[in-house]
Amino acid sequence: MEKKVAVEPSVIVKEKAEGTEAKPLRADAQRNRDRLVEVAAAVFAEHGIDASLEEIARQAGVGIGTLYRHFPTREHLVEVVYRREVEALCAAAGELAEKHPSDVALEQWMQRFVDYIATKRGLATSLRILLNTNSTLFSDTSGRVSQALRQLVEAAVADGTIRGDVDASDVLHALSGIYSAPDTPEWRDRSRRLVKLLMDGLRFGAVKGR
């Protein structure tokens, strides 16, 4: 199952429980919730899934009771962090495509993918449990990242900014290899260099204006 998470790291789960309607939060409560998710993503990425929830609440500027009102269990918080990270990753594909040439957009998105993996590595243990026990989570999220990557790769191939014999599955498998690399202090910097090397290979032999 761990391999599936690496190769198909797609995400997004509905926060409301199945069959129930989520009540809208007050503005201050929504700010607290958003801040907790933001802080939790950073803390989990740095310290792993066993990081102190009290420390997350402290850094978010709220009490531990507020954290538990929004996220009754650690697993619930992990699930929401996972969803938010992938939502941001998928949204970035379109944003980058609008701002940059197709090959630059692809490279910058892959660098963001490295950041995404950094967060996911900290969540790996809990995510394996979630994906093993929550089929809805996997079915709702599968393919989102693959689709975002496919759009970027196809645009770059069409523009002739990367070689024409590449498809998104090739690139995704290469990126999954980055996920599988040993977790060392220099992992992120090394992974960024690997993305640059990958892009050098994708650009080699490209014929613009095909």
The pLDDT-based confidence of 199 (bands split at 50, 70, 90) is very high
The pLDDT-based confidence of 2 (bands split at 50, 70, 90) is very low
pLDDT at 135: 62
pLDDT digits (tens, 9 = 90+) for 25-62: 788 899 999 999 999 988 987 888 889 999 999 999 99
- Taking the C-alpha atoms of residue 73 and residue 53, their distance in angstroms, rounded to an integer, is 10
Torsion sign over Cα 39, 43, 49, 51: negative
- Taking the C-alpha atoms of residue 208 and residue 38, their distance in angstroms, rounded to an integer, is 41
pTM, full prediction: 0.74
- Taking the C-alpha atoms of residue 61 and residue 26, their distance in angstroms, rounded to an integer, is 17
pLDDT digits (tens, 9 = 90+) for 80-116: 988 888 889 999 999 999 999 999 999 999 999 988 8
- Taking the C-alpha atoms of residue 40 and residue 12, their distance in angstroms, rounded to an integer, is 17
What does the pLDDT average to over 7-32?
Answer: 56
pLDDT greater than 70 at residue 64? yes
- Taking the C-alpha atoms of residue 111 and residue 192, their distance in angstroms, rounded to an integer, is 6
Distance of CA 183 to the CA centre of its chain: 17
Beta carbons within 10 angstroms of residue 12's beta carbon: 18
Give the architecture-level CATH label for domain 74-203.
Orthogonal Bundle (1.10)
pLDDT at 4: 33
Residues of the chain with CATH 1.10.10.60: 25-72
Higher pLDDT, 87 or 68: 68
* CATH number 3.40.50.720 given to 25-72: no
The answer to whether 187 touches 119, Cβ cutoff 8 Å, is no
Residues of the chain with CATH 1.10.357.10: 74-203
Question: Which element (helix H / strand E) includes 100?
Answer: none
The answer to whether 10 touches 143, Cβ cutoff 8 Å, is yes
Question: Which element (helix H / strand E) includes 142?
Answer: none
